[in-house]
Structure 1
């Protein structure tokens, strides 16, 4: 496919270095494409910054506890503030999942199966500069004789701490309802009986993968904003769907692409990483992500001109269908209508409730925009494409 506008990332980076790059956030780009058309927008705009701040359960911290002595240890079990981490890696490496609950959670003692503190909260505490309790057990060997270590640590005490998220930034997702006669508690939040609310989670026209629906620019090695610091795309995330049904604009009609992300926690900010607890479901984490999209040609300009009214989200019944692995779609809802606060589902007026913070999503996009405009952030070439059908 040939385009009348063809730019390279190297050319755009040179404009960034000289302070001449035109950078818009995705909200601004939507209006620009409407106003001037995709070809002129492609000529005039160099970078579009996208953003999202939303619960992302499939997240966690890969870390190394160090060897403070007096004897070395090969950790078999590790706890951070009594939240178990997986230690079956090597010596003092471990992984803490965001949804792992504390073993002595006070809420669970009163209401079994409910938790208020978990891995996501530990990660937020570390980023906020708070100290936590680290406990490690081992079976002891000649080279690693210690069997128990307990100490108080901060993020600065960990030699290595990376946010390593297996599945973030869903490309579209479900709008969740409940048609049963009782309230149910889900990762989409509490769903009232008889379809009294519909909960949804995406940043709409700001959302990274809805601005690059066919992964023309986002791939392995894409440099991004992650949790207030610099991060990287490692490739497709778990549960990535490469060939969903799409609209004429390339937008998926169901949950589709996902990203695996990583970033050094020591450069992050707790404002953009928040531990969460969902009533009746458990612990999770909200993650702020912003991804730059280089406007290489008019096709990419057209994609980044996506508006909320272009996005159709599938409605699924979490009360009857979802728990039985019957993932049928009842209907599709326009994202602009969802944002209005009320939609019509099967002839009923239903209040709509976002789980994604649009204001924080925009803040993430604007923060990345400012980095690029100041010349502090250059774009990278994807080293491997992510499958998109």
Structure 2
């Protein structure tokens, strides 16, 4: 007979300081060592993922002028990034509502976009606003996060359970949103997304727990799951999410440059209360069990093989080591130009901005960065090839940090199940 326990019973154990709470990383480590706690010994597992999540939109309200200075906004630009005015017209009020897409590019620089604006606002940096009004007036102002009256982020398709890895067997480099730089040809590199066995939906495949109304952490802010996301399917589910933008931590949210311009990354942590043995058994998945389809980056739907997340993550470095002594006076620093999160500038690496993508270790002409991102043996077109992993578009370090934060909030009862 299947054992069952209720949320209230688990909450009571938390209040009494008796609950056994693990992050997904802690639980999987014990599992891989053959020491996984039994069903009776685990009450909650906090899962987490971080990666490029294109379906990110922010709804913001702020004042740009005094009342009566213009009728209504027609076009709005934040640091040169177009935002959608409305839906409320706010006629004559001087305040505007906008929807800013994380993937919208600046009119001056396609590598700079909404994801970078959202991070800079949260960091307290000033943002230039330009409004083109219905009657042809131009209003210019500067705002900071303190000027945002209300902010909400809606994620339309987030935290996919599984992704696809990409290679390029053609002769020429291919530009894609799935690689931080054009992916070189002749099977010279592999790019992928996904945090493997830390990912929330990998640990609750039938959606026993993760469903509409579930509370979670979205870039550090408490949020609600609205339901399935767009393009969600039984095979490749994803989520629609919402949380207060002003409560988010800029460490977990930001812009990410790709071969097709600026994108946006987010971090999600979801608790899984272990209510019954079915939920517990679904937590026993490991990276080795999670298949990762492999496809041509040109076309995206041309399958060429399959690998798994153990091949992507196990034993590899999450961050590069930087040797300043090897950094020469290049006329133009390649890494400063191609780093997707702008984590390297003026010969300095900013750990708070680093995403662990691995690009620097592969493309620095002076080998100033040391990072083992791994490689994978593949059978492609009936021949065996070894392909280095040159770009990650997910960050297990951030995903695990947010799941660890969620664990601590549950333990201190600042977050209730």
Give 1:87-102 correspondences, 5 Å limit: 87-91=85-89, 92-102=96-106
TM-score (norm 2): 0.78
* SS across alignment from 1:286: strand
Aligned position for 2:388: 351
**Cα shift at 1:352:** 2.0
**Cα shift at 1:238:** 1.0
Aligned position for 1:272: 252
**Cα shift at 1:36:** 5.9
- 2:52/2:394 contact within 8 Å kept: yes
- 1:118/1:283 contact within 8 Å kept: yes
**Cα shift at 1:225:** 1.0
Give 1:1-389 correspondences, 5 Å limit: 3=2, 5-33=3-31, 35=34, 41-66=38-63, 68-71=65-68, 73-91=71-89, 92-105=96-109, 115-139=110-134, 147-189=137-179, 190-242=182-234, 244=235, 256-278=236-258, 280-319=259-298, 321-322=299-300, 327-340=301-314, 341-346=374-379, 347-353=384-390, 354-379=392-417
* SS across alignment from 2:376: strand
- Structure 2: distance between partners of 1:176 and 1:288: 22
Please list the CA deviations of residues 155-214 of structure 1 after superposition, one character each: whole Å capped at 9, or x if unmatched: 121111111111110111001111100111211113220111111111111111111111
Gaps of 5+ in 2: 90-95, 315-373
TM-score (norm 1): 0.83
* SS across alignment from 1:285: strand
- Structure 2: distance between partners of 1:196 and 1:16: 50
- Structure 2: distance between partners of 1:213 and 1:205: 12
- Structure 1: distance between partners of 2:7 and 2:31: 21
Please list the CA deviations of residues 278-313 of structure 1 after superposition, one character each: whole Å capped at 9, or x if unmatched: 2x3101111111111111111111111211111100
Q: How many positions carry a matched residue from both structures?
A: 343
Report the more deviating stretch, 25-34 or 42-51: 25-34
- 1:33/1:301 contact within 8 Å kept: no
Please list the CA deviations of residues 198-256 of structure 1 after superposition, one character each: whole Å capped at 9, or x if unmatched: 111111111111111111101111111111221221111111012x2xxxxxxxxxxx0
- 2:64/2:141 contact within 8 Å kept: no
* Pair 157,332 (structure 1): closer, same or farther in 2 beyond 3 Å: same
**What value does the CA root-mean-square deviation take over the aligned residues?**
1.9
**Cα shift at 1:42:** 2.1
Greater RCO (CA < 8 Å, at least 6 residues apart): 1
- 2:64/2:139 contact within 8 Å kept: no
- Structure 2: distance between partners of 1:30 and 1:234: 28
- 1:291/1:365 contact within 8 Å kept: yes
